[in-house]
Amino acid sequence: MDLLKPLIALLAIVNPIGVVPFFIAFTQTFSAAQRRHTIHVSSFSAFAVVALSALAGLSIIGFFGISIASFQVGGGLLLLISSLNMLNAKPPEARPEDVEDGSHKADAGASIAVVPLTVPLLTGPATISTMVIYADKARHWWELGVLVLYGVVIGVAVWAAFSLSGRIARVLGSTGINVMTRLMGLILAAMAVELLADGLHQLFPVLGAAAPR
């Protein structure tokens, strides 16, 4: 298994910098202590989603009787949809109602650090699909450990981006953040095509036989 691809895919999907504007909007009335607490909870939640997807995702798929090839095609489609949203400078897995109702959910008692910041703005179906696909490719326990370690990297990246959100917003501006999101979306689209091709080849071997040499 190529150990670098999962990390690149995760960074492209999670895209903490692209979520910075939403973090700023949701926490603009928070005190410094409340903002720090939100950063810590969001970072740990992002790590937990990635780690649990790597360790337990395959068991969950097996419980529902889904083949990894079918899941890989579905995951590739999710990645492609996410990349298209990112190419339009939108958060990769955001839905309008989640963003609009963020403050309402916080008032109702749900922490915005988890919903909607971590799920679905930072992590969501595409993130889970990616980890399950790469966990299936792991052949040794240490490779699964590396995937979990990547969850730590994602958590640190989220912490760093949110902690520096004020500076990032001032330096990049809305235009800079939009450009960064589009670049990550282009990388993600290429990876989505690879996952789709691999999954379709497993489901329909004749496609591989018909490929030009």
Q: Is the CB of residue 128 less than 8 Å from the CB of residue 42?
A: no
Q: Helix crossing, 141-163 with 4-14: angle to 10°?
A: 30
At residue 49, the pLDDT reads 93
pLDDT tens digits for 119-136?
A: 878 987 788 888 988 988
From 176, 170, 185, select the one nearest 14 (Cα to Cα): 185
Checking if the pLDDT of 179 tops 90, the result is no
* Mean pLDDT of all residues in 79-107: 61
**What mean pLDDT is predicted for residues 42-47?**
95
Which secondary-structure segment (H or E) carries 189? helix 165-203
What's the pLDDT at 93?
53
Asked whether 86 and 18 are in contact (CB, 8 A), the reply is yes
What's CA 63's distance to the chain center, in Å? Answer: 24
DSSP-derived secondary structure letter, 116: I
pTM confidence score: 0.72
Which two structure tokens, joined as six digits, stand for 93?
């897995």
Task: For residues 31 and 34, give the distance between their C-alpha atoms in angstroms, rounded to a whole number.
Answer: 5
Quote the percentage of the chain above a pLDDT of 90.
Answer: 23
Provide the total of helices (H) and of strands (E) in the chain, helices listed first: 10, 0
**Contacts for 37 with CB less than 8 Å, ≥ 6 apart:** 113
Which pLDDT does position 210 carry in this prediction? 56
Residue 157 is predicted with a pLDDT of 96
**What would the mean pLDDT of 27-44 be, rounded to a whole number?**
87
C-alpha distances in angstroms, 155 versus 16, 106, 139? Answer: 10, 22, 25
Higher pLDDT among residues 112 and 50, named by residue? 50
* Banded pLDDT at 192 (limits 50, 70, 90): confident
Q: 89: pLDDT confidence band, cut at 50, 70 and 90?
A: low
Q: Where are the alpha helices (DSSP H) in the chain?
A: 4-14, 16-26, 32-63, 68-87, 96-100, 102-107, 125-137, 141-163, 165-203, 205-210
172 or 93, which is more confident = 172
